[in-house]
């Protein structure tokens, strides 16, 4: 499935891992065949420069392995990611258990350079490798009665020390409206910087929805269900007042305990200047039409 968006990035916006770690810009990346696909920037927005491998893989949330930002990198090696399969069920023509290899044989993997905005008001820029979720849903054949897509993370108490604690109601679950799931920007990521995605970042495949807060991008997916009804989601079940079903990045709707107007860019230092948060994380030109006529404060 091809998708062409307005692209205002130049070659100098693309920073492969080795070049980034050496603090050098690669000026001819696309010409050399290793450029990363980038989403066009709104007028006046900052240019995108990818975070380093160490920053992306060493600072993240994956509460199944602990609540400290470094816990996933410390403990996620225990997660067995091969073999792996995903059960696809609900309102689909071809329900069943699909192995990771079966899926990958049918998918076209692309490189996508996306902003990543956490609800905790920190951000990164991540060079993902993955395929459009719409292609996986087409493989299963979503039926006309489906209105939402539900997701479920692996639950492995012997491999995930964090699930011993009732931080959330395990297993972790998430959901999207069908049109959000089918949007070309929504991908299932299988890699970072052209390498297999690390366990702490959601191996072997995870959802990435770049205009939503990061917790919507569920990791290590084992089940996908097409459903008529809005599915329950983990953080919304834990505290609906603070975590809505949609959870679109919106600088005009504060979290009850902190502002969402600005964010701290990881890699800029703990005391670096905060930068303004972009509406829909900068992807408004592509996705704002999905929410036409909706009250985005009520439907946060």
pLDDT means per 10 residues in the chain (300 residues)?
A: 35 42 31 36 57 97 98 98 98 98 97 98 97 98 98 98 97 98 98 98 98 98 98 98 97 96 88 89 98 95
pLDDT at 273: 79
**Separation CA 79–CA 72 (nearest Å):** 10
Cα gap 291→231, rounded to integer Å: 18
What is the rounded distance in angstroms from the CA atom of residue 112 to the CA atom of residue 197? 14
Give, as one character, the DSSP assignment of residue 46.
P
pLDDT at 268: 76
Please give the CATH number for the structural domain made up of 46-291: 3.90.420.10
The pLDDT of residue 31 is 25
Is 60 annotated as contributing to ligand binding?
Answer: yes
Residue 228 marked in a binding site: no
Q: What is the pLDDT of residue 21?
A: 39
Question: Residue 98 pairs with which residues in a beta bridge?
Answer: 86
Q: What is the pLDDT of residue 47?
A: 67
Q: Where are the domains of the chain?
A: 46-291
User: Is there a binding annotation on residue 12?
Assistant: no
- What pLDDT score does 271 carry? 67
269 Cβ neighbours under 8 A, 6+ residues apart: none
Host H or E run for residue 19: helix 17-21
Establish how many alpha carbons lie within 13 A of residue 154's alpha carbon, considering only the half-sphere containing its beta carbon.
Answer: 28
Residue 118 labelled as part of a binding site? yes
On whether 217 is known to bind a ligand per the annotation, the reply is yes
| pTM for this prediction | 0.87
Determine whether the annotation assigns residue 152 to a binding site.
Answer: no
């Amino acid at each position: 499935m091809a998708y062409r968006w307005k692209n205002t990035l130049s070659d100098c916006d693309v920073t492969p891992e080795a070049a980034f770690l050496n603090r050098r810009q690669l000026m001819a990346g696309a010409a050399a065949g290793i450029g990363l696909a980038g989403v066009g920037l709104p007028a006046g927005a900052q240019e995108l420069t990818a975070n380093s491998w160490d920053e992306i893989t060493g600072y993240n949330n994956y509460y199944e392995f602990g609540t400290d930002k470094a816990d996933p990198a410390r403990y996620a090696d225990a997660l067995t990611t091969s073999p792996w399969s995903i059960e696809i069920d609900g309102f689909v023509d071809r329900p069943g258990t699909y192995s990771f290899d079966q899926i990958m044989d049918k998918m076209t993997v692309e490189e996508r350079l996306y902003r990543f905005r956490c609800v905790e008001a920190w951000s990164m820029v991540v060079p993902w490798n993955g395929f459009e979720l719409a292609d996986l849903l087409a493989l299963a054949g979503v039926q006309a009665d489906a209105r939402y897509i539900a997701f479920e993370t692996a639950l492995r108490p012997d491999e995930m020390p964090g699930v011993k604690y009732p931080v959330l109601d395990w297993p972790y679950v998430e959901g999207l409206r069908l049109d959000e799931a089918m949007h070309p920007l929504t991908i299932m990521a299988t890699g970072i910087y052209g390498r297999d995605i690390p366990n702490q970042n959601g191996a072997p495949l995870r959802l990435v929805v770049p205009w939503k807060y990061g917790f919507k991008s569920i990791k290590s997916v084992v089940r996908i269900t097409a459903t008529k009804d809005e599915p329950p989601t983990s953080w919304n079940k834990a505290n609906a007042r603070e975590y809505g079903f949609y959870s679109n990045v919106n600088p005009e709707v504060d979290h009850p305990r902190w502002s969402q107007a600005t964010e701290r860019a990881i890699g800029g230092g703990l005391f670096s200047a905060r930068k303004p948060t972009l509406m829909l994380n900068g992807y408004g030109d592509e996705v704002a039409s999905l929410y036409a006529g909706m009250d985005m404060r009520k439907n946060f």
